[in-house]
């Protein structure tokens, strides 16, 4: 079930869950593996998030530039915290780097994440306050049931898929990658639209 974009304006930002998948492939990286991350906000006790039975590790991430402006394909940037050395560790195992790895950005709502997320602790907002139900009551975190709604792994906004084009910067604090559409990375140009006689019957017809 695709969530309509209009829903992005309805809930508070605390109800939106942003997830990322980093996928390596044997052709480019000599290994087939998927890393799961989430951006670290709107979570219970700074923990991981389970969505569609996949565990997304909390990792402060800033994603920018995904919006399409109607003129050219976006080239987003992905800034990932490197304080724990996680990204550097991955890079050290890949002599050719992460170029060509697939990045999938998934956005859903709190009410659709798996029940297992609600088995203890608290859900905190970015300002440190507790997240409450719409009626103002506290959330029962011991029930093992999502109090916001019914989990649904198909309930997402349109997935955004890009490839890592290059590493912009790397230091002890963060690593920044520039992303691109697959057609841009591989130098493929999309064909221009052809005008065929079936579209415009008058084409190719000469009048005396």
Go through 7-44 and write b for each residue having 16 or more CB atoms within 10 A of its CB, e for each that does not: eeeeeeebbbbbbbbbbbeeebbeeeeebbbbbbbbbb
So what's the pLDDT on residue 22? 95
* pLDDT on residue 139: 57
Instruction: Evaluate if residue 51 carries a pLDDT over 60.
Output: yes
pLDDT score recorded for residue 79: 94
Percent of the chain at pLDDT > 70 equals 69
What are the distances in angstroms from CA 106 to CA 18, 57, 87, 109, 156? 6, 14, 20, 10, 7
Is the confidence at residue 157, as pLDDT, over 80? yes
Q: What is the mean pLDDT of residues 183-187?
A: 63
pLDDT value, residue 146 = 84
- CA distance linking residue 172 with residue 125, whole number of Å: 27
pLDDT of residue 33: 94
Q: Which two tokens stand for residue 161?
A: 């898929």
* Of 195 and 57, more confident: 57
**Please, which pLDDT band fits residue 153 given cuts at 50, 70 and 90?**
very high
Torsion, Cα of 8, 12, 14, 16 (10° steps): -10
- Full-model pTM: 0.75
pLDDT recorded at residue 203 = 43
């Amino acid at each position: 079930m695709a969530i309509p974009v209009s829903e992005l304006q309805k809930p508070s930002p605390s109800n939106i869950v942003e997830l990322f998948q980093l996928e390596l492939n044997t052709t480019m990286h000599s290994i087939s593996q998927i890393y799961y991350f989430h951006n670290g906000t709107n979570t219970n006790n700074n923990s991981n998030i389970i969505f569609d039975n996949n565990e997304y590790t909390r990792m402060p991430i800033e994603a920018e530039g995904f919006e399409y402006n109607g003129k050219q394909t976006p080239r987003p940037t992905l800034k990932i915290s490197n304080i724990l050395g996680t990204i550097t560790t991955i890079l050290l195992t890949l002599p050719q780097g992460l170029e060509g790895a697939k990045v999938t950005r998934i956005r859903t709502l709190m009410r659709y994440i798996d029940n297992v997320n609600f088995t203890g602790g608290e859900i905190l907002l970015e300002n440190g306050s507790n997240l409450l139900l719409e009626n103002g009551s506290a959330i029962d975190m011991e029930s093992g049931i999502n109090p916001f709604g019914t989990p649904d792994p198909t309930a997402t906004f349109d997935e955004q898929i890009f490839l890592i084009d290059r590493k912009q910067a790397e230091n002890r604090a963060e690593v920044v990658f520039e992303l691109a559409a697959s057609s841009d990375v591989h130098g493929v140009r999309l064909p221009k639209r052809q005008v065929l006689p079936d579209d415009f019957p008058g084409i190719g017809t000469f009048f005396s």
